[in-house]
Amino acid sequence: MKTSTLSHKTSSEAFKLAPEDIELANAYGPYAHGTWVGEDLSYGNEEALSGRGSFLAAQVRSELLTRFPLEQIREMTIVDVGCYDGWLLCQLEDLPFAKLVGVEPRQKNIDKGNVIREILGIKTRCEFRQGAIENLDEILEGEAADIVVCTGLFHHLTSPADGVTALRKICRKFLFLETICFPTGIEDTRLRDALELKDLPYFFYDHGFGVTGHKLESGYYDGSATQLSVVSLPSVNALALFLQVGDFENVTVSVDPDTYSRAVPTEGRNFSAVCITASPRMPSRDAERWVLEYEGGLLQALLPFAVIQQLYELHCLNKQVTHNEPLVDIISETISCSESELGPLKVELKERFSDRYILEILKNIRYAPCEKISLEYGKTLISMGNYSEGEHVLFGITRRLNADWRAVYRAFCLISWSARARKDVSASERYASLCQLANPQFPQQLINSDVHYWSG
């Protein structure tokens, strides 16, 4: 790297740049993330996003000073991941951080910061290290950061989820994340329907959903991906989901895309961005809790005995039985009707049952109905203390080739309970092992329960 000629000038000439200095600065450009200001000169061109750098610096400063007193900041380390030429980090160095580190994958960008600061006579106590977000542990030599700032980087990554994971590994107290994103309102009803929000988390409440768009990026420019990649543009909701699953909490949109666009005029560019803050948390155990509540709720829920008995005789034993239970007819109709005809039947069942687990059972009974009904009937018999007959019904599931998987592992659990109640320790242990073999994530806490589960 060619050094500046400033060291050869007198103080009165110091800011009359030599042509060689101007050429050197231009060679290291573009300086597109903020305007560097020396004593008498400034250098930088944010092009269509003029003012973006100052806006971000003000946002980060405000978020930090709102949360942390200066005395606490004196003990803290801040790391700027994807720092480009270091402009943003240098705007924060007047805050009394114990250590300020910028991490940037392109050595040229680190050099351009060094060059312009030398040319303009700007001193800094910030430290800059070359490396990618994927290697933060190695770059920081295993040290964590109290504050992590990451601006202008995520829309250059292939995987926002991997980016969140990398930031979480080094973040101790607070994260400030900014990225280009989809504009507000991109997630519509068609996307919601296409994504089918029916997995376990959505049984408990609506977590929403997000989208990411994907495009090629060449790596040709200083402010792009480091090599030819498929990069991901996330929506705000997608970022929030990545952060929540990535062991961050207090996830807050501090500047939404509409507010951002008003604050940073784009001069016709189709630009949308967001600022999000979050704090790290201990690894979440939400998934384990959901599984325990879901499986436990399904095992504890019991249909009326007359209803499940008649359903078993009709659909499993193929008996022609006379009954006066309207529910039997409604449930039987849900089994035989088409998907498009289910709506009114679901409404009728909701009017008759308020228990969400009963409704979940009835919603799914149409898929492998004989095995699902046998499971409910066997479960009811065991809950009544009729262990022998209950196990016999459940064997009709577990000993049927290619039986429904969910019915199988739940039947194994119930048989283990029943055998334990009969003091058959060997059989109980065998079926407990089969339950875990069938579904290794089935809660051990439930397997260790017993037939008294229904009473408490």
Q: How far apart are CA 375 and CA 305, in angstroms?
A: 13
Tokens 């849900």, residue? 334
Does residue 324 contact residue 267 with C-beta atoms inside 8 Å?
no
| CATH dotted code for 6-284 | 3.40.50.150
Q: Which amino acid is at 297?
A: G
Predicted local distance difference test score (pLDDT) of residue 44: 87
φ, ψ of residue 240 to 5 degrees: the values are -60, -40
Could you report the per-residue pLDDT of 314-341, keeping only the tens digit for each?
999 998 877 678 899 999 999 999 888 8
Domain ranges of the chain: 6-284, 287-455
Predicted local distance difference test score (pLDDT) of residue 10: 37
Does residue 451 contact residue 383 with C-beta atoms inside 8 Å?
yes
φ, ψ of residue 180 to 5 degrees: the values are -65, 145
Give the residue ranges of the chain where pLDDT is below 70.
Answer: 1-15, 323, 455-456
Which residue in 21, 221, 229, 4 sits closest to 109, CA to CA? 221
φ, ψ of residue 37 to 5 degrees: the values are -120, 120
Could you report the per-residue pLDDT of 46-78, keeping only the tens digit for each?
777 888 999 999 999 999 999 999 999 999 999
Predicted local distance difference test score (pLDDT) of residue 6: 42
Q: How far apart are CA 203 and CA 290, in angstroms?
A: 9
pTM: 0.85
**Tokens, residue 427:** 């059989």
Predicted local distance difference test score (pLDDT) of residue 241: 96
